[in-house]
């Protein structure tokens, strides 16, 4: 067992509620929580087996989780005192909300603080895939580049193209703002259209999913994963896209049928893809590694220093609000 490698923050003589932080965070997050709780913090960022983690959370009233933590009935059975699961992410498909609600456990997330950072990264993935930046870097690093050739590594233009956004929440709208700077026509599909004023300000038009797939030069996914969105993009949907179009997934693995995408990239019925998420991550289909026309990124869309600091503090403040101040959570995602 490696439990001794977790750091326990000393507290005073008064017994305090226990909070476990399952993955590494920043020092200011530890400092904030340690003024309110008895803290067990994983600043070594160890990856624990389930039984090891279960030992740690057995008497915890609050748990600050990461997307790598699977919070289900088994997890909750191991933490009978838990009142709050503070997920350090905007997405929460790693958490069984029904199980938490059934047991009266509050679940929170970190919305808002990462919108701009993820939008920036989405644009970066789009440009990298369209202009073959990853392929070009590998070409240079391997020593193959011997001089400029007129038709070498030709990509597709971003400026003036059509961007189709599947999902049009806060992050999707931030992406649309940036796309306007590239002179792109913006189409979107969501459960319902946004208000006309927002559409006008973003030069965005609501269309059906089929219309979006058929009309877009770049299709970008920025919507939550759920049973309803599982394999939303599969063989049929990929076949509707333009032959020289690009797919970008900045949302969650499982929304795309990765095997169907690999086949489309192999057969060159799509020009390229830019991926920050995968089915079954951190494992991914090894066939992706054999393809030049895909940009592969390790789920770092929100990975800037300031954003990750804000995410960790948002999760911590949710714990403080509920467990220390006996107030409603700042960012609830379920009805406990």
Active centre residues (catalytic): 252, 281, 299
- CA–CA gap between residue 160 and residue 133 (Å, rounded): 19
Read off the tokens for 44. 């070594």
The single residue listed with the structure tokens 């951190």 is 282
Which residues are CB-contacts of 51 (< 8 A; sequence separation ≥ 6)?
none
Contact 231, 256 (CB under 8 A): yes
In sequence order, the β-bridge partners of residue 275 are 249, 296
CA nearest to 189, candidates 173, 169, 212, 172: 212
Read off the tokens for 102. 């059934």
- CA–CA gap between residue 191 and residue 242 (Å, rounded): 24
In sequence order, the β-bridge partners of residue 106 are 84
CA nearest to 210, candidates 268, 162, 166: 166
User: What is the C-alpha R_g of the chain?
Assistant: 22
Read off the tokens for 166. 């599947």
């Amino acid at each position: 067992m490696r439990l001794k490698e977790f750091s326990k923050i000393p507290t005073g003589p008064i017994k305090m509620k226990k909070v476990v932080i399952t993955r590494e965070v920043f020092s200011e997050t530890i400092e904030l929580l340690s003024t309110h709780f008895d803290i067990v913090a994983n600043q070594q960022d160890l990856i624990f087996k389930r039984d090891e983690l279960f030992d740690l959370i057995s008497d915890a009233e609050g748990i600050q989780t990461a997307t790598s933590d699977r919070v289900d009935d088994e997890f909750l059975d191991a933490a009978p005192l838990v009142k709050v699961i503070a997920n350090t992410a905007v997405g929460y498909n790693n958490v069984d909300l029904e199980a938490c609600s059934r047991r009266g456990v509050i679940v929170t997330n970190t919305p808002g603080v990462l919108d701009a950072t993820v939008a920036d990264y989405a644009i970066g993935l789009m440009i990298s895939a369209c202009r073959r930046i990853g392929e070009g870097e590998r070409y240079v690093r391997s020593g193959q580049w011997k001089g400029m050739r007129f038709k070498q590594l030709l990509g597709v233009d971003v400026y003036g193209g059509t961007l189709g956004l599947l999902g049009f929440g806060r992050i999707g709208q931030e992406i649309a703002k940036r796309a306007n700077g590239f002179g792109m026509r913006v189409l979107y599909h969501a459960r319902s259209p946004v208000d006309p004023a927002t559409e006008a300000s973003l030069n965005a038009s609501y269309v059906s999913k089929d219309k979006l797939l058929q009309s877009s030069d770049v299709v970008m996914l920025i919507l939550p994963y759920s049973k309803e969105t599982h394999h939303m993009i599969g063989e049929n949907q990929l076949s509707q896209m333009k032959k020289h179009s690009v797919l970008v997934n900045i949302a969650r693995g499982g929304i795309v049928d990765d095997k169907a995408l690999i086949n489309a990239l192999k057969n060159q019925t799509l020009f390229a893809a830019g991926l920050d998420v995968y089915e079954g991550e951190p494992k991914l289909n090894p066939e992706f590694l054999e393809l030049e026309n895909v940009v592969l990124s390790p789920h770092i869309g929100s990975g800037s220093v300031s954003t990750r600091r804000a995410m960790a503090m948002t999760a911590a403040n949710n714990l403080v609000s509920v467990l220390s101040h006996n107030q409603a959570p700042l960012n609830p995602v379920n009805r406990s």
